[in-house]
Homo-oligomer: A and B are copies of this chain.
Amino acid sequence: MYPEIDTPALVIDLDVVRANVTEMAKVATTNDVGLRPHIKTHKIPELARMQVEAGAVGITCAKLGEAEVMADAGIDDILLAYPIWGEPKLRRLAALRERARVRVSLDSPDVAAGLGRLGLRTGSPVEVLVEVDTGMHRLGRPPGRQTADLVAEIAAIPGVEVVGLLTLAGHAYRSRSWEELLEISRREGEDLVATAELCAREGVELREISVGSTPTARYAAEVPGVTEIRPGTYIFNDTTMMRLGVATEETTGARVLATVVGRPSPERVVLDAGTKCLTSDGLGSPGWISAVGLPYLHMEFLNEEHGVARLEPGHANYGELPVGSRVRLVPSHACPVLNLFDVAHVVEDGEVVTELRVAARGAVR
């Protein structure tokens, strides 16, 4: 399997990626919302351009470093879904604004004050989205009165313009049923729309209602009043998306190609991919790492450089997967896996066609 690639290696299936990109673009069109994919999943400018060419209104980044790489590649509409704080970052943001339309999300007057100084200095207000906590309990205040008060406070700061509300229903990743996932998705949209209506009654008109992780995007997009979805993982999917019912092994587009390097016992298979390729995300949860086409091989644990898997009894013999065999592994969480590789190998129609640099890898700031 792909003998021209040494292992471990990151392999991207371009056919799968194209289909995933097209499908989510259609979700946006059908629901008349903007699609602003989060590029943290791939960190690859060529794939961001593919998303924009397929109809995305722009992209979402978490870090300035990611946004700078994407602007270098010609992407000119960027949401920084992260509170940008401190002079070094504000200087970089100022430079970025000279070559792209940039919006920033935040949840505090402190962060807004810094952006406001930048807005005043440059004579162009910084457009911000106020983050709302719809149940993830990370950033943001709860929807309704508390967020409306925060919006009013931030809207009063010179140099910033509050253009909308933003949330990430990250708690959807813990959904235990399809019904729960749909309910979280619906609430994600409705809570923001209701809060925006409250803000409007109190004098702050908000034109952007931005929602949506990969599991919730398709359903939150259907809520009237939602204007934008920001899924990221959908381009590659992973076993978490499979577990949530929004992907199958066939729609996973980023796999780690690994080689068997040890067969210490009939049932134990040791692979050359560990957490340095797959991360510890999801470690040990059922099916957290999937071996494509090998349902009888179960990952038991990962160390940095070793993946230790177990063959089911009917397959537990040395003839199965001997040293040198190759296995394709679907990660639990695609996004941090891309952050571990400098280069991705791209396959199309089963053939290795090119390499892509993971140009925004390591953009911690």
A interface residues with partner B (beta carbon < 8 Å): 6-9, 40, 62-63, 82-83, 85-86, 88-89, 106-108, 110-111, 133, 137-141, 170, 259, 261-265, 268, 270, 272, 275-277, 279-281, 283, 303-306, 308, 322-324, 335-336, 339-342, 362, 364-365
Contact = CB atoms under 8 A, between A and B. Distances in A.
Nearest to A270: B139
15 contacts: A7-B365, A40-B304, A82-B305, A85-B323, A107-B264, A110-B322, A110-B324, A111-B262, A133-B264, A137-B308, A138-B270, A138-B303, A277-B364, A304-B336, A341-B362
Given A110-B322, A308-B138, A86 B259 contact: yes
B306 A139 contact: yes
B276 A339 contact: yes
Contacts of A8: 364-365
Contacts of A342: 362
Contacts of A283: 280, 283
A270 B273 CA distance: 32
B63 A262 contact: no
A41 to B, nearest CB: 10
Contacts of A62: 304-305
A108 B262 contact: yes
Q: Is the interface of A mostly helix, strand, loop or mixed?
A: loop
A305 to B, nearest CB: 5
A87 B28 CA distance: 48
Given A261-B83, A262-B83, A108 B323 contact: yes
Given A280-B281, A281-B280, A324-B85, A304 B365 contact: no
Nearest to A361: B362
Contacts of A339: 276, 340
Given A40-B304, A108-B323, A303-B170, A141 B264 contact: yes
A140 B264 contact: yes
Contacts of A86: 6-7, 259, 324
Given A275-B279, A277-B364, A281-B275, A108 B263 contact: yes
A140 B306 CA distance: 13
Most chain-B Cβ atoms within 10 A of its Cβ — which of A9, A88, A305? A305
Contacts of A141: 264-265
Contacts of A261: 82-83, 85, 111, 139
